[in-house]
Amino acid sequence: MLPELLTAVEQSAVAELLRFWRWAYPLTNAAHILGIALLFGAILPLDLRMLGLWRSVPLPLLARVLVPMAGTGLGLALLTGPLLFSVDPFKYASLGVFWLKLLLIAMAVLNLLLLHRSTAWRQTINAAGSVQPVPPRLCAYAVISALGWLLVIFCGRLIAYF
């Protein structure tokens, strides 16, 4: 079943466009990198603030700016990633580091969903202007988030060398 699915992906019109139109792949790749930059560029300062850095900056105010930016980056990366995959699906599917990257993305997104559903997050974000220390449980989410997304980026870069 997997070989048939990979063949269908490889022969899709989108994959053909990305392979044969000179600018399609570079533009898609640039959009993917932009998505990653927006995501990690927003997530890392937010995670570091949750871990106690920049305590004078109210977390609710920081989150109001950075959470939508991270969401935009995640959406862009999740949209462009499968497009890039479609160009050579058999190669990517044969790489352990590719599957590790997908697992890490799933774990990081699950961590994100659990964080945003937590009562501690909602209480912290709704405390307007608060510069109080973040509850320890939220610090754990921040560590998992920062390390998870950093490992996703690392695995993504490794794919280019295998």
pLDDT tens digits along 13-41: 999 999 999 999 999 999 999 999 999 99
Question: Closest Cα partner for 143 from 94, 97, 106, 108?
Answer: 108
pLDDT of 125: 87
Residues of the chain predicted below pLDDT 50: none
pLDDT of 162: 86
pLDDT of 129: 67
* Tokens (6 digits) for 31: 């959009």
Residue 156, number of CB atoms within 10 A of its CB: 20
pLDDT of 105: 98
Please say whether the beta carbons of 162 and 97 come within 8 A: yes
Q: Residue 152: which residues within 8 A CB-CB, separation 6 or more?
A: 101, 104, 105, 108
